[in-house]
Amino acid sequence: MKKLVVLVIAMTMTYLLPAFASAAGVTMVRGGGTGTFGADLDGDGDVDGSSFGMGVRILTNGTASGHFLCLMAGRSDILGLPLMSVQGRVTDGSLNADGSVTFSGVATVNLGSGSDQIFRGLSFQVTASAGGPGAGKMQLTVMGAFDGVPGDTVLGNGNYDLPSEAVNSGQIAIG
């Protein structure tokens, strides 16, 4: 009986830990997998998507730490490029009222066509919603570059605002 009580307490604490962590002012964002835009953004006949990974710690004061990676290569070419990656260090973030998170930082964008196609020090922003295939979502904006390139959903603002991408495999966890 004593082992059962310890097991129930341990399971309860595991279940409640994310709530305590958020109450203590920390929101963790973890995830990885593949995503789909559900559309052909660049007119090449393929439905576009990416592979992604994120590990982010957000404090209630708006500071954050962690990393983000979005990779479009191989199975998920876009814009006719052999590679497009956005790899960044996260510095700021927030937990939104709807339970999603928004985080931002500074990234290196690699377009895979030689060293003249690597852009360092570009700001980025991601809004992510928790869930697995069909439920989790992610939207990436690269600030100050690539405005008007195919796939950009907000023309004329100086940024590359990709449409929302649905998790196809893997998951995004927020807690």
Three-class secondary structure of residue 166 per DSSP: strand
Which DSSP category does 24 fall into? Answer: T
Please tell me the distance from the alpha carbon of residue 34 to that of residue 168, in angstroms, as a whole number. 5
Phi and psi at 2, nearest 5°, equal -60, -40
Task: State pTM to two decimals.
Answer: 0.83
Greatest CA span in the chain, whole angstroms?
67
89-116 confidence digits (pLDDT tens): 999 999 999 999 999 999 999 988 777 7
Q: Report the helix count and the strand count for the chain, using DSSP H and E.
A: 1, 9
Mean pLDDT of the chain: 85
Three-class secondary structure of residue 170 per DSSP: strand
Parse the chain into domains and list their residue ranges: 25-174
Is the pLDDT confidence value at 20 over 70? no
Is the pLDDT confidence value at 140 over 90? yes
Closest CA to 71 of 51, 49, 48, 41: 51
Is the pLDDT confidence value at 88 over 50? yes
Taking a C-beta distance cutoff of 8 angstroms, is the pair 130, 97 a contact? Answer: no
Which DSSP category does 14 fall into? Answer: H
For residue 10, give both structure tokens.
Answer: 């341990």
For residue 91, give both structure tokens.
Answer: 């510095």
1-13 confidence digits (pLDDT tens): 343 333 333 333 3
Please tell me the distance from the alpha carbon of residue 118 to that of residue 163, in angstroms, as a whole number. 23
Three-class secondary structure of residue 117 per DSSP: helix
